């Protein structure tokens, strides 16, 4: 087909689409689809066998210039990468893409300080990660070594505008430090036993599997979240939407890390591992239960019965639930659709 023929074909297609849709709504979508695809990017390849540009993920990150302007994809081929990796503040617009949640693993056992030690530290804004599992192996898999159980972070996310699709985060205590900024986690698996999703991120977790491994603590329950909103005016909080809570042992949905902790489970399936009380108050950190925003709405499953929940569990208005569960809670200006990759609904 000549260039002209191709052009004419596309033109005819456009006109047909526009006609057949009456108001041309679908046509608009089609055009915006093209706009989204304009985010093109260069790809560099990490391959342990030496057939890519780099053999470690960190050396690929190091090769990206400071204050990077254009999206760049680091494609991490299948394999187990035994390294601690860090995307520093000055390297935004990196799209870290693995070969699959069960194919590309990044593993380390760093645990000396939760401030500086994690398998993956992401400090820059505008980061996308897809199809990679991050493991802190200090205590995980459980019983695989004789180490005492202690905080050992698999990922610490401190930048704004960061999205994670089909990723895994595995650990026992403090697995995912959702530290600061607006974050979108979709179709991810997060595993742990104690405070394993913690921090003051402003995040939506959509269709994620929350996998509790608190059986070894029995009869003590574990804690899924330890959210750390500090003041009533702070916009952060964790929203779990269409998620699945499964696992062994028993668990609280959360306890506060700071006084105004905010967590909402919405339209999620909660298995019988959730303790009837649901939430633990903040006596141990000296907070008032009235300041905590711990809520549930439209959940199902054996652990979703709220009749014996802590009496101070929050009852949010429908408007507030709608506000927290809509994408605009984390994406008012539409940053997600302009990233190198997205899985928006
Ligand atoms: C990566 O490797 C490919 C294939 O060898 C090469 O064409 C490309 O220039 C390399 N890119 C960088 C940034 O080194
Ligand atoms: C809980 O599940 C994890 C992961 O499958 C497993 O390693 C652990 O042995 C289980 N613990 C108990 C007490 O069943
Ligand atoms: C609730 O979650 C289910 C299963 O993930 C999904 O099919 C459904 O659309 C969701 N409903 C609402 C009201 O969000």
In ligand 3, the atom with minimum distance to the C-alpha of 267 is 1
Q: Which ligand is nearest to the CA of 46?
A: 1
The values of phi and psi at residue 97, to 5°, are -120, 125
CA angle at residue 220 from 204 to 144, to 5 degrees?
Answer: 80
Residue nearest to atom 13 of ligand 1 (CA): 44
Question: What is the layout of strands, in order, in the sheet containing 153-157?
Answer: 85-87, 118-122, 153-157, 176-178, 194-199, 222-227, 251-256
Residue nearest to atom 14 of ligand 2 (CA): 215
Q: What pLDDT sits at residue 38?
A: 52
Ligand 2 center from residue 219 Cα (angstroms): 14
Ligand 3 center from residue 71 Cα (angstroms): 33
Using the CB atoms, write b or e for 239-252: b if 16+ within 10 Å. Answer: bbbbbbbbbbbbbb
Ligand 1 pocket, CB under 6 A: 44, 53
Q: What pLDDT sits at residue 16?
A: 39
Q: What pLDDT sits at residue 282?
A: 81
The CB of 242 under 6 Å from ligand 3? The reply is yes
Residue nearest to atom 7 of ligand 3 (CA): 242
Pairing of β 133-136 and β 162-165: unpaired
The answer to whether the beta carbons of residues 172 and 149 sit under 8 Å apart is yes
Residue 129's closest CA among 168, 91, 90, 158? 168
Distance CA 257, CA 151 (A): 14
Q: Which ligand is nearest to the CA of 212?
A: 2
Residue 280's closest CA among 240, 251, 252? 252
Going residue by residue through the chain (345 aa), what tens digit of pLDDT does each one get? Answer: 444 444 444 444 443 333 333 333 333 333 344 444 457 899 999 999 999 999 999 999 999 999 999 999 999 999 999 999 999 999 999 999 999 999 999 999 999 988 889 999 999 999 999 999 999 999 999 999 899 999 999 999 999 999 999 999 999 999 999 999 999 999 999 999 999 999 999 999 999 999 999 999 999 999 999 999 999 999 999 999 999 999 999 999 999 999 999 999 999 999 999 999 999 998 777 778 889 999 999 999 999 999 999 999 999 999 999 999 999 999 999 999 999 999 998
């Amino acid at each position: 087909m000549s260039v002209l023929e191709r052009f004419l074909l596309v033109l005819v297609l456009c006109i047909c689409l526009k006609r057949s849709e009456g108001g041309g709504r679908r046509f608009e979508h089609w055009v915006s689809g093209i706009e989204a695809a304009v985010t093109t990017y260069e790809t560099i390849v990490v391959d342990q066998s030496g057939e890519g540009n780099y053999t470690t993920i960190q050396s690929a990150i190091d090769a990206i210039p400071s204050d990077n302007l254009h999206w760049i994809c680091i494609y991490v081929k299948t394999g187990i990468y035994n390294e601690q990796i860090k995307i520093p503040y000055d390297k935004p617009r990196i799209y870290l893409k693995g070969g699959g949640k069960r194919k590309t693993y990044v593993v380390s056992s760093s645990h000396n300080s939760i401030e500086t030690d994690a398998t993956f530290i992401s400090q820059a804004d505008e980061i996308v990660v897809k199809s990679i599992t991050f493991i802190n192996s200090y205590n995980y898999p459980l019983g695989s070594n004789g180490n005492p159980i202690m905080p050992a972070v698999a990922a610490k996310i401190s930048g704004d505008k960061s999205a994670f699709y089909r990723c895994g985060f595995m650990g026992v205590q403090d697995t995912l430090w959702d530290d600061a900024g607006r974050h979108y986690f979709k179709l991810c698996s997060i595993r742990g036993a104690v405070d394993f999703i913690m921090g003051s991120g402003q995040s939506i977790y959509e269709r994620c599997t929350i996998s509790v491994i608190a059986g070894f603590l029995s009869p003590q329950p574990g804690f899924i979240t330890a959210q750390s909103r500090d003041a009533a005016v702070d916009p952060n909080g964790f929203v779990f939407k269409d998620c699945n809570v499964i696992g062994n042992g028993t668990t609280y949905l959360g306890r506060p890390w700071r006084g105004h902790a905010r967590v909402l489970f919405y339209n999620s399936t909660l298995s019988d591992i959730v303790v009837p009380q649901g939430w633990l108050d903040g006596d141990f950190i000296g907070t008032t239960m009235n300041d905590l925003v711990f809520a549930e709405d439209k959940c199902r499953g054996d652990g979703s019965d709220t009749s014996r929940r802590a009496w101070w569990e929050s009852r949010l208005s429908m408007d507030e639930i709608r506000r927290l569960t809509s994408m605009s809670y984390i994406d008012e200006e539409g940053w997600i659709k302009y990233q190198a990759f997205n899985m928006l609904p």
